[in-house]
Structure 1
Amino acid sequence: MQHYHDVHPADFDRLSSAELRQRFHLPRLFRPGQQSFNYWDVDRTVIGGIMPTTAPVELEAPPNLAADSFCERREVGIINLGGAGRVEVGAQSFDLASKDGLYLGRGSRTPVFTSADPDRPARFYVLSYPAHATHPTKLIKFDAMEGTALGEAVTGNVRTIFKYIAPGVVESCQLVMGITLISKGSVWNTMPPHTHMRRSEVYCYCDLSDESVVMHFMGPPDATRSVVVRSGEAVISPSWSIHAGAGTGAYSFVWGMGGENQDFDDMDKVPLEDLS
């Protein structure tokens, strides 16, 4: 498990491009037949990917969690970004098509992940935070969801937001999670830029072609930088950092947050004239 430490905003503009990637960029989340996890000090976040092929993959508890099972003190959000797959949790079995999700509450049995077709494996994106209470496990079917349309074509940010785990949708302790689909012809994934002083956020980019990238912009509003991100990669975003991206082709991204509250609209907007 790769360990990412907190970074003070005053140190941000001293980082080289390589150091910026080392501290905020999570490459290769999905590795055939394996699970790959990263631990971020901020909000005790765990970010990872599970890509079963010919054999099931069991969600192991990494040693640094000091737990007998992954969900012993944690809640978990899962979104399938690949082919059809299945998650078995004790006696329960959940089939996840592409973009279906699953919430696992604190104390859940160890989940086991499989792909329906090894030649088109499932890609289970996993985001986890500590939990102080237990909420029911729940399957989230993408086809049954209603998205919220945002943005305008004139500003290049027409997009549809789908909330998977949020108050009034699927209850959790602190995890808020969903996916945003960028409309054809648009490039920006959020506008206006903003920070979240009461929580941190993780972006996982997906649905990009091999020839496309996203330029992810981050940092304090008066000292922004960019990170090149490809499909199946993620970027961690501290509370003091903006987080916005522009793609060279079609893409989607999974957003997930943990921290002090679960209000989706709790954001500190940054006027464009204040960016530098």
Structure 2
Amino acid sequence: MHRRYASHPNEVKQFDTERLRTEFQISDLFRPNQLELVLTHEDRFIIGGAYPVTEDVTLVTDLKELGVSFFLERRELGIINIGSTGSILVDGNEYVLNSKDCLYVGMGSKEVIFKSDDPANPAKFYLNSAPAHVKFPTTHTTLAEADSSALGSIQNSNDRTIHRFIHEKGIQSAQLVMGMTQLKEGNMWNTMPAHVHPRRMEAYMYFDLPEESVVIHLMGEPKETRHLMMRNEQAVISPSWSIHSGVGTSNYTFIWGMAGDNKAYADMDQVAMKELQ
């Protein structure tokens, strides 16, 4: 498991592009037959990928980093499959996930194993994990069952659908909030006008992005913005003080995950367009 430290906004103002990538961008989440995990000290959030191709992948890591005897002893886990159909075994119970399905795994689950149905068309499981103080049941939700709503407009190039999976009115959790946003063809902007939510950090993972395309991810304080060039299946850490927005050279999909003081999806501080610098 790789480690990223929390950063003060005054410090980040001095970062060059390489340092921004080192601290906030996660480039290699999906390696065949491997588990990749990144622990950020922003709310002790973990971002990861499990990519079972010809072998199953088990959720294991260096437990000294977490101070526990098994991964989910004091944690909860959200999983969204961005690949083809696969399954997840949680303490012997099997959950089949089609593309863009979500599985929440509650605190106390001891064994989590990721499988693909077809090695030629493997599943790709994107993971978010947060510390938990209470156990909620393991729950599977399909894309069709998600709490979905349309936002934006073609006039503003941000016509998109937001799918909420793990949130205060959906799958219950201790603090993890997780969902997915799909931009319609011909739309490129996400989360603009921008906002911050000082009570929660967030992580994005961009996918369904053509190989030759990029998303220019905006971050930083509203009056001290910075940017990162994001490519397909790359993730980015967004501290609670930072905006998190972006524009692509084509439409794309991204998964958002949050942790912090509350689970209220709408709890955000809006930033007026005229305030951005």
Gaps of 5+ in 1: none
**Equivalent residues in 2 for 1:107-186, closer than 5 Å:** 107-186=108-187
Deviation sequence 1:168-194 (CA, Å, 0-9, x none): 211000000000000111101112100
Deviation sequence 1:82-119 (CA, Å, 0-9, x none): 11110001221000010001000100121100111111
> Which residue in the other structure is 1:61 paired with?
61
Separation in 1, partners of 2:113, 2:66: 19
**Equivalent residues in 2 for 1:226-245, closer than 5 Å:** 226-245=227-246
Q: What SS does the aligned partner of 1:21 have?
A: helix
Separation in 2, partners of 1:172, 1:7: 27
Q: Could you tell me the percent identity over the aligned residues?
A: 44
Q: What SS does the aligned partner of 2:35 have?
A: strand
Deviation sequence 1:164-218 (CA, Å, 0-9, x none): 0011211000000000000111101112100011010000111111111100000
Separation in 2, partners of 1:81, 1:105: 21
Deviation at 1:66? 2.4
Contact 1:178 1:254 (8 Å CA) reproduced? yes
> Which residue in the other structure is 1:44 paired with?
44
Deviation sequence 1:34-67 (CA, Å, 0-9, x none): 0000000011111100000111111003231122
Q: How does the TM-score come out when normalised to structure 1?
A: 0.98
Separation in 2, partners of 1:21, 1:37: 17
> Which residue in the other structure is 1:17 paired with?
17
Separation in 1, partners of 2:10, 2:146: 41
Q: How does the TM-score come out when normalised to structure 2?
A: 0.98
> Which residue in the other structure is 2:193 paired with?
192
Separation in 2, partners of 1:198, 1:143: 30
1:104 aligns with 2:105: yes
**Equivalent residues in 2 for 1:1-12, closer than 5 Å:** 1-12=1-12
Separation in 1, partners of 2:146, 2:41: 32
Q: How many residues align?
A: 276
Q: RMSD of the TM alignment (CA)?
A: 0.9
> Which residue in the other structure is 2:213 paired with?
212
Separation in 1, partners of 2:221, 2:255: 22
Question: 2:178 is matched by which residue type in structure 1?
Answer: M
> Which residue in the other structure is 2:79 paired with?
78
Separation in 2, partners of 1:61, 1:138: 23
Deviation at 1:146? 4.6
Gaps of 5+ in 2: none
Contact 1:221 1:242 (8 Å CA) reproduced? yes
Deviation at 1:120? 1.4
Separation in 2, partners of 1:143, 1:220: 36
